[in-house]
Copies of this chain bind each other. A is one copy, B any other.
């Protein structure tokens, strides 16, 4: 699946991300775009469409590999096969959690807070520990980030500069950065990153 390629959302089809970075988003008639969630390898994308909302789609932000899970065949098994049901449920459950955190982010955090939360979250998701700190390769451009955070590309760029000045991250290139102190970065936002490892254990415990 090439960068920029889009799949229309359909509710009986899910996709498991094997490789790349995939966005689930909504496109308004006038061109405004909102990315609802980002999915990295291992995640399952569950597009939900409503007539009320505009077109919802799954878009590859980098060349990606997706495995299609077509539930129409197994439709009857939902609710009968405990394993399948549990997996499905925990997936949707995860999506609700992400959405709730994202709602607070868009509704109540300012630009700096949103960006720091994003940088921390991406660091946990796709970053790797190195002697110099946690190194992250950002596989999205400024506009994608803006559409995820409810900002615009220029604003994201400006805030990145402020993050750099505040020494919260070192930008090696437009798509690579290094976080020497994750805690300092996280302290800038009043909520924690959704994908921090410790949170995962906590989540598992609370699941149905």
Chain A, range 102-124, C-beta contacts under 8 Å to B:
102-104, 106-108
Some 15 contacts from A to B, beta carbons below 8 A apart, are A11-B208, A28-B190, A29-B190, A51-B202, A52-B194, A53-B100, A53-B101, A53-B104, A71-B208, A78-B86, A79-B85, A79-B89, A88-B89, A92-B92, A92-B93
Chain A, range 137-179, C-beta contacts under 8 Å to B:
149-150
Give chain B residues whose Cβ lies under 8 Å from the Cβ of A12. 208
> Once the chains bind, are B100 and A191 in contact (CB under 8 Å)?
no
Copies of this chain in its oligomeric complex: 2
Most buried by B among A12, A51, A81, A92: A51
Q: Which of A15-23, A30-38, A62-70, A128-136 participates in binding chain B?
A: A30-38
Give chain B residues whose Cβ lies under 8 Å from the Cβ of A149. 107
Give chain B residues whose Cβ lies under 8 Å from the Cβ of A106. 103, 106-107, 150
| Chain A residues engaging chain B, CB cutoff 8 angstroms | 11-12, 26, 28-30, 32-34, 36, 46, 48-54, 56, 71, 75, 78-86, 88-89, 92-93, 95-97, 99-104, 106-108, 149-150, 190-194, 196, 198-199, 202-203, 206-208
Given the contacts A103-B34, A106-B103, A191-B28, A51 and B199 also touching, CB distance less than 8 Å: yes
Q: Smallest Cβ distance from A134 to chain B, in angstroms? A: 17
Give chain B residues whose Cβ lies under 8 Å from the Cβ of A89. 78-79, 85, 88-89, 92
- Rounded to whole angstroms, the CA-CA distance of A32 and B26 in the bound complex is 27
Question: Other than the known A28-B108, A36-B100, A106-B106, what 16 A-B pairs have Cβ atoms closer than 8 Å?
Answer: A30-B190, A36-B103, A48-B96, A50-B100, A50-B101, A51-B198, A51-B202, A52-B199, A53-B191, A53-B194, A75-B208, A78-B208, A79-B83, A85-B89, A99-B100, A106-B107
